[in-house]
Amino acid sequence: MNKKLIHHAVIAARMALLGLACMSIAIAENKPDELKQRILTQAQSMGPDDYAFTRTVKSEQTSNGKTEHHVNVEKFDPTKSGEARWTLVSVDGAPPSAEVLSRYQKESLKRRVPGYYRFAKYFGTASTASTDSRGRTVFHFNSLPKDTAIVMDSDVSSNTSADVTVTDTNGAPFVEQVHLTVRPMRLKLIMKLEHYESTTRYRLGPEGKPLLAENTADMTGSGMGQEGGAHTVATYSDYHAVK
């Protein structure tokens, strides 16, 4: 083979390698987008009425130096209608009083049903992607669409950032953890939310669908001459598919 042919062969080989490199880069760039679309489709396939479940909420509330501890157990059953969908089972280990039960029932119709389906609300919006130390893809949303994040009956969505961690179990990706951070802001003019963070974890259920496992939230704020904070841990159990 003469020098001219060798030169052309080397150039062709370099061009081929360059093409493969560009293709690899394109695949790497498209992977987060494809993964994001899969999570969105997964969330859209689920709804608030898919499961009945039990929620146990442990709270530690501090106001002007005084701390209270409470444990509430409640059940959600989507096969029932109206106020009956949510049931307050116990308060601090005892049946709820008539007054507490009445107040709980009045709030039942506006009580949000938590669940994986809620990702459909914002997973199609703008985000950036990175990889954590365990090789999991993390999507970062600088803000959330209206009516996505609610704190103390106030919509804080536009002031909330989210880090959503996606894991892969036997080739099936799903959101494993969501971390929300709300920047300091006013609530209802008379209150100031100084700090709010929450972490929500999901697990795969027996049907292979992601189920909410636990939510932890920490909040501090002030208003009407008082300062306080709260630490809340909600765990979800006794899932029963109704569809």
**pLDDT, tens only, 126-174:** 999 999 999 999 999 999 999 999 998 899 999 999 999 999 887 789 9
Residues 6+ apart with CB under 8 A from 29: none
Distance spanning both ends of the chain, measured CA to CA: 71
Q: What token pair was written down for 171?
A: 């080739």
Q: Return the pLDDT at 10.
A: 47
Q: Are 182 and 150 in contact (CB under 8 A)?
A: no
Phi, psi angles (nearest 5°) of residue 103: -65, -40
| CA–CA gap between residue 157 and residue 143 (Å, rounded) | 7
Range of the domain at 62: 6-241
Q: Tell the residue number behind the tokens 């950032």, with chain if given.
A: 161
The verdict on residue 213 lying in a domain is yes
The verdict on residue 120 lying in a domain is yes
Strand partners, 186: 192
Q: How many residues does the chain have?
A: 243
The verdict on residue 93 lying in a domain is yes
pLDDT tens digits, 57-92:
999 999 888 899 999 999 999 999 988 999 999 999
Q: Are 154 and 49 in contact (CB under 8 A)?
A: no
Strand partners, 137: 131, 166
| CA–CA gap between residue 213 and residue 52 (Å, rounded) | 13
Higher-pLDDT residue of 224, 115: 115
Counted domains in the chain: 1
Q: Mean pLDDT lowest for which of 36-45, 104-113, 174-183? A: 104-113
The verdict on residue 1 lying in a domain is no
| CA–CA gap between residue 203 and residue 146 (Å, rounded) | 27
Give residue 219's identity as a one-letter amino acid code. M
